[in-house]
Chains A and B, each alone.
Chain A
């Protein structure tokens, strides 16, 4: 097993010591109708105070990899078949379930997309936030509630003291997501994984929630893994971005670099498929075809059936045939990795 060396990381944002390292992680779902390869060897590292965006469409494996890190995969059917997840240098996968549990909350914590279904409808928000203190620190019921009010204040829920006994359904969508955030940051985690935290929210509320996350990150210095398919959100808050396709990372680098000049045709396709102010009036170019079936990932480069730049047969350079040779994630230019045989062409260097 090779571990990414933090000092030689291509990610310019990861100058500090990494708190979270994911190393060649593989996850598959063993179902009755066959094996689904959801995550096929992804690696990244996250430093304190760094924000890494993981970008990809539905089914690209971004949420599954996050759940694997949290140790909350539904298994069966999900099985981690290889790799390592290092938190503060220790591999979580070799630890006992009880040790893993103790990391969830104070070490790594997570917020989910749909706060309404992710909060338990039958307990008050104060109870659910306070539970973090009671379960991990043995705090008394009364003190836990006091902490809950403080946290609700901190995530800017108006009238926290009077709303602590309210139930999730009595809050608006944005306020519910703040409750989720309050719960996740309760024990000052070193890493926060936010899985599509703003997808279910109005645009104006989205901005408020992202601002809140950034402010909290600045105060606590936690690392933030932001899982999203929203290019706008990535552009605003992330330092680095990793683009996922078919369970693999196909490109990564700083947000400015990747968005400014993609090195992978898939990233390029994503950029062309969203409206841009400068290109007003022009036509959007969707990526043709369907996302791959993870039970039958195409041979060679998994993106080749949809790729406008693919080279097949005699057109291809030796050992770089898109339908047969799997492109490794490689350093293309300093600070940028991409998994395409022809990244230099895509970049135009």
Chain B
């Protein structure tokens, strides 16, 4: 197992190099001149422009720019944005916001999704099953922006339970954005769990468990749930990466200063160093959580061995 994990971690290096180069190239290919845009209405003097272009290697060919960037990176320097702010500082400041948002979203989709799925799955075509079916279809088909405004209006303003924007009230501030961010995946987790439970309830080993005279909660909780969670865990693991990407919209609507917002702003300003730094970090998280899922597989299903 240890060797497997080490090998998988080593494999992330070429992936990260490839991903960062791709992102670098995409930012390079963006139309427009980022330096000229810096000045806004008042054009910068040609001397300043030339100096900045020189400082950020903007006149070098793509490959040379990238090589210089990686060279700095290896010395632990993520570079600066055009205003001289360290990218590493931006990340350390903004990452905790996005991580908190992701944690809340994952917690909501896991807990509510699995409970709803189990209840629907053990009584197929019952009231709860239909309720889960209807509400999950509704959630999936409504655009996330609409969902966000409805949540802000109803739960935030009408009931006044949760703050509707900003991060001034600690974890409570993350409940609404977390709920909105999780909604699509929540519906999916519920449906996936429901199908998986319903399928496993017909498995031979569940029939055996009943024939053994085990109490119903043991038959469901031990002999059905664990086997049914394998596909659900896969989805949730892969979803952590997706949620961090999806945070771009949610962070904008709820005015959360996370890395999603930072990426959005930086792409618009063509801040290559910031975009590459943050997106490469997201890629790393994505790979890392997929590795965690693969390790969890072996824990959930002893037939899987990585040797």
A contacts, CB < 8 Å to B: 70-72, 74, 101-106, 109-110, 112, 114, 117-124, 131-132, 135-136, 167, 169, 180, 183
* Given A112-B204, A112-B207, A120-B205, A104 contacting B213 (CB threshold 8 A): yes
Stretch at the interface among B148-156, B242-250, B296-304: B296-304
Q: What string of 1s and 0s marks CB contacts (under 8 Å) between B191-230 and chain A?
A: 0000000000011110111111111001000110011000
- A220 CB to nearest B CB, Å: 18
Give complex CA distance A112, B206 in Å: 12
The 7 A-B pairs with the shortest beta carbon distances in the complex, nearest first, are A104-B213, A105-B213, A117-B204, A120-B205, A118-B204, A72-B210, A110-B211
- A114 CB to nearest B CB, Å: 6
Q: Are A121 and B212 in contact (CB under 8 A)?
A: no
- A77 CB to nearest B CB, Å: 12
Q: Are B303 and A119 in contact (CB under 8 A)?
A: no
Q: A110-B211, A122-B301, A169-B302 are in contact. List 17 more A-B contacts (CB 8 A).
A: A101-B214, A101-B215, A103-B213, A109-B212, A112-B204, A118-B207, A118-B208, A120-B223, A121-B227, A122-B226, A122-B227, A122-B302, A131-B212, A131-B218, A135-B213, A135-B214, A167-B303
| Residues of chain A with a CB closer than 8 A to B227's CB | 120-122
Q: Are B208 and A135 in contact (CB under 8 A)?
A: no
B contacts, CB < 8 Å to A: 202-205, 207-215, 218, 222-223, 226-227, 300-303
Give complex CA distance A112, B199 in Å: 19
Q: Are A131 and B207 in contact (CB under 8 A)?
A: no
| Residues of chain B with a CB closer than 8 A to A167's CB | 302-303
| Residues of chain A with a CB closer than 8 A to B203's CB | 117
- A99 CB to nearest B CB, Å: 11
* Given A74-B202, A103-B213, A136-B213, A120 contacting B208 (CB threshold 8 A): yes
- A225 CB to nearest B CB, Å: 13
| Residues of chain B with a CB closer than 8 A to A131's CB | 212, 214, 218
| Residues of chain B with a CB closer than 8 A to A136's CB | 213
Q: Are B226 and A104 in contact (CB under 8 A)?
A: no
| Residues of chain B with a CB closer than 8 A to A103's CB | 213
- B216 CB to nearest A CB, Å: 8
User: What are 16 contact pairs spanning A and B, CB under 8 A?
Assistant: A101-B213, A104-B210, A104-B211, A104-B213, A112-B204, A118-B205, A121-B227, A121-B302, A121-B303, A122-B302, A124-B302, A131-B218, A135-B213, A169-B302, A169-B303, A183-B212
Q: Which of chain B's residues has its CB closest to A169's CB?
A: B303
Give complex CA distance A114, B207 in Å: 12
Give complex CA distance A105, B226 in Å: 23
A106, A110, A114: most-surrounded residue (chain B CB, <10 A): A110
Q: Are B211 and A120 in contact (CB under 8 A)?
A: no
Q: Are B212 and A135 in contact (CB under 8 A)?
A: yes
Give complex CA distance A112, B208 in Å: 8
Give complex CA distance A311, B45 in Å: 113
Q: Which of chain A's residues has its CB closest to B302's CB?
A: A167
Q: Which of chain A's residues has its CB closest to B125's CB?
A: A76
B207, B208, B209, B213: most-surrounded residue (chain A CB, <10 A): B213
- A199 CB to nearest B CB, Å: 14
| Residues of chain A with a CB closer than 8 A to B301's CB | 121-122
| Residues of chain B with a CB closer than 8 A to A74's CB | 202
A109, A120, A136, A169: most-surrounded residue (chain B CB, <10 A): A120
- B231 CB to nearest A CB, Å: 14
- A163 CB to nearest B CB, Å: 14
| Residues of chain B with a CB closer than 8 A to A183's CB | 208, 212
Give complex CA distance A280, B51 in Å: 103
- B303 CB to nearest A CB, Å: 5
| Residues of chain B with a CB closer than 8 A to A120's CB | 205, 208-209, 223, 227
* Given A120-B223, A183-B212, A72 contacting B207 (CB threshold 8 A): yes
- A173 CB to nearest B CB, Å: 15
